Chains A and B, each alone.
Chain A
Amino acid sequence: MTNAPPQAAIEFVSVSKAFGATPVLSDISLTIAAGERAVVCGPSGAGKSTLIRCINGLEQHQRGTIRVSGETLTEATRSLRQIRAQVGMVFQSFNLFPHLTVLENCCIAPRTVLGLPRKEAESRARTLLRRVDLPGYADRYPAQLSGGQQQRVAIARALCMQPRILLLDEPTSALDPEMVQEVLDTIVGLTDLGMTMVCVTHEMGFARRLATKVLFMDQGRIVESGPPADVFDAPQSPRLQRFLGRERAGP
């Protein structure tokens, strides 16, 4: 951890956070290299979402250091702006703007933040909507789409800002079962963009397809991490062995 390579996309050094007296992140240190795809898994309440939300400052950590592309994250507006400019985010509940069309959802940030002219922003949005397999949906409103389609719009919206890092916080947890696969396939299909990705998920099969690195969390700590083959097929800690056993036994 101390000699992190300069191309590290995300670095946590002894990061801690508590909600009141309850610790949610305890002394977390990790490095995610540029281009790596990290999957964060673990039981509910392990701190997975808090961890991922700290990366772009939606949650504030209390101790330790977080660096994103070498930039140290602070509460200062300037630091947050700089880091969020490189980090896209996809939420569990999509968080699309319901009064804007799909195209407007995708264009609002490129136009107002990056200052792109309308034409350029729209052509970028249309390209990415094709990429998430939603051509022809540009003029619909979110409420007219299925959950899976909305989440794919949310992915396109994040990609329109051309982030170097994409955070996905349980992207399929709010979806009906039959829509999960289309969203997972879309996410796996993004790997050729070479983005760094950090994804919290409960879908173990998907984790194997996507991940170059797996982080297993429990009670605010990273219990085990490594390539998916090691973590999933040869778990070292009893906690992870129990967790995987249950996953296998599950539906």
Chain B
Amino acid sequence: MSAWNAPLAGYGTQLLLGLIFTLQVALCSYTIGMVFGVLGAAAKLSRRRGLRLAAGLYTTLVRALPELLLVLLAFFLGAGLIERLLVFLRLASEDFSLNPFVVAVVALGFIQGAYLTEILRAAVLAIPRGQQEAARALNLPPLTYLGRIVAPQALRHALGGLGNIWLNATKDASLISVLGIFSDVLKVSSLAAAATKRYVFFYMVAGACFLALTLVSMALLEWLRRRLSLSRLA
């Protein structure tokens, strides 16, 4: 037992691996959530009524239901349905089953995507309408307008909200510990607590891990905010 592992009753390495795993889940789910969020916001801002309705249904349902329930539904219902669909379409063999890690991060991403949809939609709407008119009068191609005018400004408007969802993502990553098949930092802590009977200590350690993630995240977000801030120009 190495020196730094001793006070943690030998669970130090596992806890560190758990923390890395939690970070992985957060990063993967957030990235997937961003894809859902961009698509959702685009649908909500679309001229097509069908797309707006679909996106509205998505954000309403996901935000209405407890996240834990959604994760459980994704695992026990969603994954099974997708597996059967793939088998039915002959895209997979009979004994195919989805990788649980993939199911977990897609489920978490799907949840975050609903919140990100609303944040991104509001961020785009915060851009004054006159800029769209200027872009049209200048004949700017739609992709140039979206990429060089809308996206950079929407990112600035959304930064606070995006940061909040990221902090949530780090914590939501622990939701999947209830599934019992992943060794995330919360799961490792509860195993260590049960084995050593030092419940308070190990749950405090888990808390410290999450706090550390948040503090590092906040520092990075603040750096990003300063970098992108337009008020520094004024």
Contact = CB atoms under 8 A, between A and B. Distances in A.
A141 B233 contact: yes
A84 B149 contact: no
Given A95-B130, A95-B131, A99-B153, A56 B233 contact: no
Contacts of B148: 100, 108, 112
B200 to A, nearest CB: 49
Interface residues of A, number: 28
A98 interface: yes
Interface string B123-158: 000001011011011111100100011001100100
B130 to A, nearest CB: 4
B234 interface: yes
Contact of B134 (A57, A97, A113): A97
B152 A112 contact: no
Most buried by A among B128, B131, B138, B231: B138
Q: Taking chain B's interface residues, is the majority helix, strand, or loop, or is none over half, making it mixed?
A: helix
Q: Taking chain A's interface residues, is the majority helix, strand, or loop, or is none over half, making it mixed?
A: loop
B234 A143 contact: yes
Given A91-B134, A95-B134, A143 B144 contact: no
B181 interface: no
B139 A84 contact: yes
Contact of B130 (A85, A88, A91, A108): A91
Given A113-B138, A143-B233, 4 more contacts: A57-B136, A81-B139, A99-B156, A161-B139
25 contacts: A58-B133, A58-B137, A84-B138, A85-B139, A89-B137, A91-B133, A93-B128, A95-B130, A95-B131, A97-B149, A98-B153, A99-B153, A99-B156, A108-B140, A108-B144, A108-B148, A112-B141, A112-B148, A113-B141, A141-B230, A143-B233, A144-B233, A157-B138, A158-B138, A161-B138
Interface of A: 56-58, 81, 84-85, 87-89, 91, 93-100, 108-109, 112-113, 141, 143-144, 157-158, 161
The 6 closest A-B pairs by CB, nearest first: A95-B130, A95-B134, A109-B138, A89-B137, A141-B233, A143-B234
